Structure 1
Amino acid sequence: MTGSASHGQRGRAQRAVIGRPRFTGRDEELAALQSALAAGVPAVALIEGDAGIGKSRLLAELLADPPAGAPAGAAPGRTLVAVCPPFRRPHTLGALVDAIRQSGDRIAGLGLSPLAGALRPLFPEWTADLPAAPEPAEDATAVRHRLFGALCELLDAMGVTVLAVEDAHCADEATLEFLLFLCARRTRRISVIVTYRPEDLPEDSVVRRLFSPVAPGTTRLRIALGPLDVAATAGLVSSMLAGEQVSEEFAAFVHRGTDGIPLAVEESIRLMGDRADLARRDGAWVRREIEDIDVPPTIRDAVMERFRRTSPPARTLLEAAAVLTDPAAAGLLLAVSGLSGDDAHAALDEAVGSGLLVEDRHGLLAFRHVLASRAVYESVPAAQRRLLHRRAGHALQDASPPPLAELARHFRDARDTEEWCRYAEQAADLALASGDTATAAGLLGELITEARLPGGTVARLASKLRFGTSEGMSRLQDVVRSLRAALAGQQLGERDEAEVRAQLGRLELLAENHAVGRKELERAIPHLDHDPVAAAQAMILLGWAFGEALPKATHLRWLRRAAEVLALPMPEADRMRLRVNHVTGLLTLGEQEGWAEAAQIPQDSPNTTEITRLYLNLGAMAHQWGRYGEARRCLAVARGLAERHRYSRYRTLILAAEANLDWSSGCWDGLAERLTGIVAATEGAAVTQLEARLTGHLLAAARGERPAAEQGLREVLAGSGNAPDCALDATAALAGMALADGDVDGALALTEGRPGNATGNGMWLSAVQFVPVRVEALLTSGGARTARAEQLVRGLAEWIRGRDVPAPRAALASCRALLAQARGELERAAALSARAALLWDALPRPYAALAARERQATHLLACDRHGEALELLERVRTGYRELGAGGDALRVTAGLRTHGVRAAGPQAARRGYGNQLSPRELEVAGLVIGGRTNRDIGEALFLSPRTVARHLDSAMRKLGVSSRTALAVRLVELGLGPAS
């Protein structure tokens, strides 16, 4: 491109026709993507880069030219492209849902399974063709995972082999979690391509983790796009000018002004064409001197200069497109702009001809790039912007199905509070039905904090809030302030005020402001007679013992008042949920009547989620009470229900509860590995995860891994703000270590202040491990602290009276043995320790029983009954070894040596079962009958495939068979079915 023209010549020159740029400078990246998709296995490809760098163009070129090299005979696949809109508040799975809708597929005849009924909230227009809605899931997480499974089935049935998600930095949380779910699916046949701007991703974004869960064999590719060099910039400019050569000087000039960002190059060249800075005269390109050409410093500046060069009607149309954001049909665009007649069609032609608007493959119009849309949007005066949003809202109301999130956005920005509230609440309800609590919290939180709604409306919206994510929790305090403002600034009737206070109390408890939350609930309850569900829920919350220590009678009074309200008419689903909470509250307080009430709940209720939760809670409480057989039976029922109804989250919680029970009952074979798997699987369930970590550290301590266990226990204690039971057990373990080291002051410091929190509000059940350690620390210190120890033991004894609580009763026997020792009554101390051991055996809790017998032997030695004591210590040492408590076995061995007893080596031996299958071998072998692979069994039981293989080898050896099939047949012959 050579030569120059004078200003006079320029006026007579023909303006340049700017064409669509050719794909330039990304050949290596395109080849890498094509190779990944042609590998014959699913791929996960991440394309990152700054705004305007060419991510979308690279993806378009890839999808326009399918890669060669697909496996012979493979069916042709199809691609689904989901573009995430830059909404202020994304809508649940919106980009994916829109892409599926725009595909034009009809789902009738796809042969979808009943699982597809979960898609009904997302696709209401398909209700007639979708299966019936599934049974209620146990919680939002389960709803979401079931929905994800249904979406995967739908994509498979549609024949989708490539799912591309553009601008994932704008995606809603549910879409990102679905991508994680899809990438981890072992049976998937879909490749995933994601584009995003890295600078707009949070540090903990799911996008950064998409590689971590990929199924084995998946091809992984990450492409980071950078600016074009000068040569590629020259090629890009040339392609826009019908392939004419561009001089190095001009290419360097453009590169310098645009930093080689492809979109900036394109916008600058288009602007030069609009200005007639580029022209063709007498068969040759001519231009002004380079020094006279002004290149805008940003893409925004280039877009706005081009925008201002269009006619007023075209500018109005472009403003309407910027307000709509999403690609829109021409009719919708004209309706929002308010243009009509010849002006409307001329403006449409001009806007498309300018290159600012482009038409996609569905015939919809939108800005070429979101940066251009945003630049125009921000230039629209506020009053005009509100008018355009109002028109957009009214125009979209007739769509079927109505785009709820878009309607909420438009009416919000139009300042039409009534319509904003209407559609935002509907969008939030859709999000909740899809298990997307984060989006719902955002939509409702905005309404509550910004819309200045009536108090009754605020209360209704607040009742739907679920703060299950960090984003939701960050909004909680804003919602609390808005509720308080509703109370302070409005003349509310009694009912509205009570509803606001009830929700405020719930949220304050959630924020751990327990005293404040209780006060609000107490003020609300007298005026909730019109709503027995809300009244019972408030009473049960006051009946649960957490937070500050209150007399147990206070909690019990509220629970008994709640029982009266539960007898009033209310929806059965609410009654069932509240009855399960009520039973749990009673059992947590150690009230015997809780078991009787649980027995009255109909076990054949169609509300299987609540029945599953009931048995999970009963199993956990039976464990705390010391009813281990009952605990195992309840957890087995809960696990059966969870597996039958695919309640994946409950199943994980149940497996965690069973692992804790196995720790207590001495079933330690493979337990450490299972706990590691449970910790990984319970992300998002903080308390359950903390409990699993605690159990793992206790197990490590018993095995003699003292330094690591102590460090882990301190970490659990530091993170146990919302888990008082974990705090007590971790404190007990650490204080026990301190006492073993002779650090009485350290043990006292650790346990100081805990008794009031543990027992002052009736939570003795939580203190089974803590109270004996605290008593020992006080007695060892001596002096005035002895009386405090005696008072603590009396309190425990009084609480136990009349209750069938085997675990606390065994702990009481241990405490009484400590008191007898402190008084010098050594024979009595030995007898009480022996009684404690028998009580622990009855649960069974073998580790605690062995510790009691070890203490008994110590008392016998002090009574000069050496022969009896040393014989008992030998049995204790053997018991520790069989259990796997190698650290304790070493300690007892060292004690025996001081008394001249020669001991065998220190290695710990596992409990032997002879030719009988161990419980774990039986469980693993039972799953073989169902035809599961080692990997499937490992995933079900949180074991590695190698550990599963070891158990199966042992089982086959014991049963005298040599194959998995023979093992399954032999188990059936013996009457042993699959593990429940």
Structure 2
Amino acid sequence: MAERWLGRTRFVGRDRELARVVEALARPPALVLIEGEAGIGKSRLVREAVAATDRDGARTLLAVCPPFLEAFTLGPVVDAVREAAPDVAALGLTAVAGALRPLFPEWSQDLPPAPEPPADAGVARHQLVRALAELLDRAGVEVLVVEDVHWADATTLDFLVYVATRRPRPLTLVLTYRPEEVAADSPLLRLTSRPAQDVCQVRATLGGLPVSDAAGLASSMLGGDRVSAGFAAFLHDRTEGVPLALEECVRLLRDRDDLTCRDGEWARRGLDEIAVPPTIRDSVTERVARLGADARRVLLAAAVLTDPVDERTLAAVTGLPVGRWPAALRASLGSGLLGETTARPGGGLPAGRTGIAFRHVLAARAVYDRAAAHERAAAHRRAGEALETAVPPPVGRLAHHFREAGLTRRWFAYARQAALLALSSGDHRTAAGLLHALITEPTLPPTEVAALAGQVSSHAFTGDPRAGEIARTLRAVVDSGRLGRRDRAAVRAQLGRMLLTVGEYTEAAAVLEQAIPDLADHGYPVASAMTVLGLPLHDSWPVATHLRWLERAEAVASSSEIGPVDRFELRLARMTALFELGEESGWELAGRIDADESSPQAAVLTARFHLNAGHAAMKWGRYADARRYLAAAVDVAGRHGYQRLRDLALVTAGHLDWLTGAWDGLDERLAAWQEVDGEPLIRMDALLVGTQLRVARGGPDEEARKVLAAVREESVRRGTTDLPAEAAGALARVAAEPSADHTAEPVGRLVRKGVWLWAGEVLPEHLAALTSAGRRSEAEELVAAFEDGARGRDAPVLAATLASCRALLAEGRGRPAAAADAWEAAASAWRALPRPYDAAKAGERRARCLLRDGRRTAALAALRAAHREFTSLGARYDADRVRRALDAQGAGAEGPWRPGRRGYGDRLSPRELEVVRLVATGLTNREIAKALSRSPKTVATQLNSAMRKHGVSSRTALAVRVTQAGYDAGAEPGPSPA
């Protein structure tokens, strides 16, 4: 595998600059100036341009200026000429070339005699410059490339000015340099500011690559496989698209084994941070070392602040005397590491304002890491004190600075304020991070931990590894013996919730039961704990036990004084538990819950209400209700900025699209969710649906089995109720051989608990495996139990599932006629939901039963109908299977295979077309995302898909293909030939 990761980086993102440089080199004489910071790709652009203009008889000389503290006179050009090793004796040099003897002592016997040394030093330098220019002329050099000219000595710069401006034969020059390191009095500025009229001059200023090109560069290093949108955004955020930094980050992640390849796509393993790569660290260290102590203090202050700030704040954090500040600021800005940057929301300045900050995150981290610990702590203290005067005070940033400064009490005060502020605004993710830091702080007294414990929302820690740390801390606090009865019970109740979050259900139930007696005099806390016990998570409790807890919780809530928001939350939790238990009363309760967006706390509960009701309606088979609820969840969460809830609603809507056959563009939408960092429920759901969709189109393979097995294992570990059952059923469908092993555990849980609502996606697959293995009596007992459990429930999915189960039993009894009738009933039930894919599969099973019953005409008609249904969906694998069955009967399908409106193969989908048309206009991914109301991740995924289908690796090449194909006119052709 490692060999795949060491590929040469592809040249990406510089098509326009390359075209300009190539055009200039094709029209000599030319002066090409390529400027940009270290690692931005200047040298690579030069190499690509020279290779593209290599002509017979042309001679290019490459010189590089080394970063010597004291540069040698004409050293870069002399070294380049010496390496080229021309036959000096055959060049026919004039007497002026004798001035070169001091530079080329090894050629003394072939050079003319040295001229008499002139009295004027300027004349001597002019002789030397003329002699070197003549040497290049006679050696046939047409293009002189000099890299890193900012490090050139004065005589080399004079030489470059001379050969660029002499008459009648100027030399074509290609110069690369870092503009921030060019001195104000450098002769280089005479070249850049006063171009000769008869010389073609091109100046290419290189900036960071956009996200899409950063993804392409990383992909080329990883064997050409795609990189996930999340990984590309992670890299770009930390490198600002600087190619060298990108390369070094990928190498570092590879060396640390922090990369993984899933479904032919590279992604991170979920790390939030990355160490500074050694190359970047050394480059930054070298630049910082040239600065004075005051300028280094400015850099450290900027690294501590991280966000753009005004000069006054930055000066305060440096701690420098007023008289030394201006010079220190000038020097630090002159290093090129700092610059004016637009502030982001939540930073130290109002959004949109410009302030001073590091240009790259990695550079800031390198400066921060090399500072001594006491220097960092002092800078953090000054930062906290400077920001305390802001109105309103940025409590989150103040908490960070005082914690890093080692001022624990001040950190605790601000962190608590920040957590409460985040909770009140509905930002549970931020609150979760702050509360985790506070609760797990070893020096915090148990009484203060108890005061904070009730603020922790277990929903915010779903799938978060920090939940385990909080649970351990809360357990230690409970066991410390230093809490009163009331505080101990409150902490114990929160411990129970966190144990549920990490999947320790049996212990969680025991802890909650133990907490309830001491919570009895508090209405909301005890009702909340009882409602949690009503959720069907405890593996060994039957439905009746959960319902008893819910009844007790309702009784407590009815007899207690509980505020409106807390009452709303209790009703929502009760409704969700009833849905999960398959109880009709959940829908009656849902109808009595009034949406409330009067406060952030109520608004987030309203979004969760719509999300939970939509998810339940999908599982019950009430698809119209599901769409209505999920649309409301997206709307409420979007308007209030609850991104996680909005994402959950969107991915659930994608799951609903899979079930109802709305497959148009579904794979593109799911791709954006499959690499969402820190959101395992979203990622698992997207992977589950996306893999099933891929199997329907292309058939099962080993990769699909691995993904489905991983989803099943992770969803079991995280305590979800429906995902493990559906993943097990999907895994059974793609298994190489039918086996009840894949489905035995979730079906056994259905039987133990009596919660048959989860049966729809797993029970038919289990029955098929049982009947295939001849375990008919076991299968019949299972269906009888299911029929009894589903009775009286208005859940259309249960009725359709039961119809399929009856058909499977009829097949197992060897009664094809009865089985055909049963499959017809099942197909009708699935079609009514609607579940067209399941209906088509039931229709295919009916046709095969008809064939076994000898009713060939009816069977062929049923097979053709199934073929049409599969084809309409874009389920090519299934359609091909049915076509083969028809061919075996000597009766072909009606017409050739057509991908249908839902499958696009190598053609661009309508959503991809929208993106590539905007790419052709020059918009960035972020601008396209805004124009199309999509996320930048989705746009990046669709753009990568379009480039892959057209066999190109850059936005520019794609734009050319788009223009050639006439996409701007609304065409929808396939990809052009590579």
With the length of structure 1 as denominator, give the TM-score of the two structures: 0.56
Q: Which residue of 1 aligns with 2:772?
A: 780
Alignment CA distance shift 1:908-1:569 (3 Å): farther
Which letter maps to 2:372? R
Q: Which residue of 2 aligns with 1:853?
A: 843
Q: Which residue of 2 aligns with 1:374?
A: 372
Equivalent position to 1:527, from 507, 511, 518: 518
Alignment CA distance shift 1:870-1:522 (3 Å): same
Equivalent position to 1:583, from 562, 572, 575: 575
Deviations 1:816-853 (A, max 9, x none): 12222222333332222222122112211122122222
| Alpha-carbon distance in 2 for matches of 1:501, 1:617 | 27
Equivalent position to 2:712, from 717, 740, 746: 717
Deviations 1:76-124 (A, max 9, x none): xxxxxxxxxxxxxxxxxxxxxxxxxxxxxxxxxxxxxxxxxxxxxxxxx
| Alpha-carbon distance in 2 for matches of 1:63, 1:192 | 24
Q: Which residue of 2 aligns with 1:559?
A: 550
| Alpha-carbon distance in 2 for matches of 1:524, 1:59 | 67
Does 1:886 find its partner at 2:876? yes
Equivalent position to 2:727, from 708, 726, 730: 730
Deviations 1:312-343 (A, max 9, x none): xxxxxxxxx9xx99999999999x99xxxxxx
- Where does 1:212-611 land on structure 2 (aligned, <5 Å)? 261=286, 374=372, 421-430=412-421, 440-441=431-432, 443-465=434-456, 473-546=464-537, 548-567=539-558, 568-603=560-595, 606=598, 607-611=602-606
Identity, % of aligned positions:
36
Q: SS of the residue aligned with 2:520?
A: coil
Contact 1:455 1:496 in 2 (8 A): no
Contact 1:528 1:534 in 2 (8 A): yes
| Alpha-carbon distance in 1 for matches of 2:781, 2:278 | 68
- Where does 1:859-898 land on structure 2 (aligned, <5 Å)? 859-898=849-888
Q: SS of the residue aligned with 2:372?
A: helix
Q: SS of the residue aligned with 1:864?
A: coil
Q: Using the TM superposition, name which of 533-542 and 803-812 deviates more.
A: 533-542
Equivalent position to 1:706, from 700, 705, 725: 700
Deviations 1:601-657 (A, max 9, x none): 124653444333322222221111111222223333434445555655444333322
Contact 1:389 1:411 in 2 (8 A): yes
| Alpha-carbon distance in 2 for matches of 1:554, 1:63 | 80
| Alpha-carbon distance in 1 for matches of 2:489, 2:671 | 46
Alignment CA distance shift 1:672-1:867 (3 Å): same
Equivalent position to 1:690, from 684, 687, 692: 684
Contact 1:495 1:528 in 2 (8 A): yes
Contact 1:441 1:472 in 2 (8 A): no
| Alpha-carbon distance in 1 for matches of 2:473, 2:749 | 32
Contact 1:466 1:472 in 2 (8 A): no
| Alpha-carbon distance in 2 for matches of 1:554, 1:521 | 14
Q: SS of the residue aligned with 2:715?
A: coil
Which letter maps to 1:692? A
Deviations 1:646-690 (A, max 9, x none): 65544433332222222222222333333334446x544322232
Does 1:809 find its partner at 2:806? no
Alignment CA distance shift 1:868-1:550 (3 Å): same
| Alpha-carbon distance in 1 for matches of 2:241, 2:394 | 28
Deviations 1:131-176 (A, max 9, x none): xxxxxxxxxxxxxxxxxxxxxxxxxxxxxxxxxxxxxxxxxxxxxx
Alignment CA distance shift 1:60-1:669 (3 Å): closer
Contact 2:454 2:491 in 1 (8 A): no
Contact 2:427 2:642 in 1 (8 A): no
| Alpha-carbon distance in 1 for matches of 2:668, 2:594 | 37
Which letter maps to 1:851? K
Alignment CA distance shift 1:193-1:564 (3 Å): farther
Unpaired runs of at least 5, structure 1: 1-26, 36-57, 70-176, 185-189, 213-221, 229-258, 272-298, 304-320, 338-346, 379-384, 913-919, 925-931, 949-962, 967-980
| Alpha-carbon distance in 1 for matches of 2:657, 2:586 | 24
Contact 2:531 2:553 in 1 (8 A): yes
| TM-fit CA distance, 1:553 | 1.5
Q: SS of the residue aligned with 1:907?
A: coil
| TM-fit CA distance, 1:795 | 1.9
| Alpha-carbon distance in 1 for matches of 2:810, 2:41 | 79
Q: Which residue of 2 aligns with 1:660?
A: 655
Contact 1:605 1:611 in 2 (8 A): yes
Alignment CA distance shift 1:826-1:399 (3 Å): closer
| TM-fit CA distance, 1:509 | 1.6
Contact 1:512 1:547 in 2 (8 A): no
| TM-fit CA distance, 1:410 | 8.9
Deviations 1:871-891 (A, max 9, x none): 322322222222322222222
Contact 1:704 1:886 in 2 (8 A): yes
| Alpha-carbon distance in 1 for matches of 2:814, 2:881 | 25
Which letter maps to 2:682? T
| TM-fit CA distance, 1:430 | 4.5
| Alpha-carbon distance in 1 for matches of 2:397, 2:892 | 80
Which letter maps to 2:782? L
| TM-fit CA distance, 1:768 | 0.4
Alignment CA distance shift 1:581-1:904 (3 Å): same
| TM-fit CA distance, 1:398 | 8.4
Which letter maps to 1:703? R
Alignment CA distance shift 1:518-1:936 (3 Å): same
Alignment CA distance shift 1:651-1:868 (3 Å): same
Contact 1:675 1:692 in 2 (8 A): yes
Q: SS of the residue aligned with 1:749?
A: coil
Alignment CA distance shift 1:773-1:395 (3 Å): closer
Contact 2:39 2:245 in 1 (8 A): no
Q: Which residue of 2 aligns with 1:767?
A: 759
Q: SS of the residue aligned with 1:750?
A: coil
Q: Which residue of 1 aligns with 2:934?
A: 939
Deviations 1:210-261 (A, max 9, x none): xx9xxxxxxxxx9976869xxxxxxxxxxxxxxxxxxxxxxxxxxxxxx994
| Alpha-carbon distance in 1 for matches of 2:322, 2:613 | 70
Contact 2:39 2:243 in 1 (8 A): no
Which letter maps to 2:804? S
| Alpha-carbon distance in 1 for matches of 2:418, 2:609 | 31
Equivalent position to 1:633, from 628, 631, 654: 628
Q: Which residue of 2 aligns with 1:48?
A: none
Q: Which residue of 2 aligns with 1:621?
A: 616
Give aligned pairs, total.
Answer: 674
Alignment CA distance shift 1:197-1:465 (3 Å): farther
Contact 1:619 1:630 in 2 (8 A): yes
| TM-fit CA distance, 1:561 | 2.3
Q: SS of the residue aligned with 2:934?
A: helix
Which letter maps to 2:827? A
Q: Using the TM superposition, name which of 722-731 and 804-813 deviates more.
A: 722-731
Q: SS of the residue aligned with 2:834?
A: coil
| TM-fit CA distance, 1:590 | 0.7
| Alpha-carbon distance in 2 for matches of 1:677, 1:654 | 14
| Alpha-carbon distance in 2 for matches of 1:468, 1:202 | 34
Alignment CA distance shift 1:459-1:360 (3 Å): farther
Contact 1:390 1:411 in 2 (8 A): yes
- Where does 1:139-218 land on structure 2 (aligned, <5 Å)? none
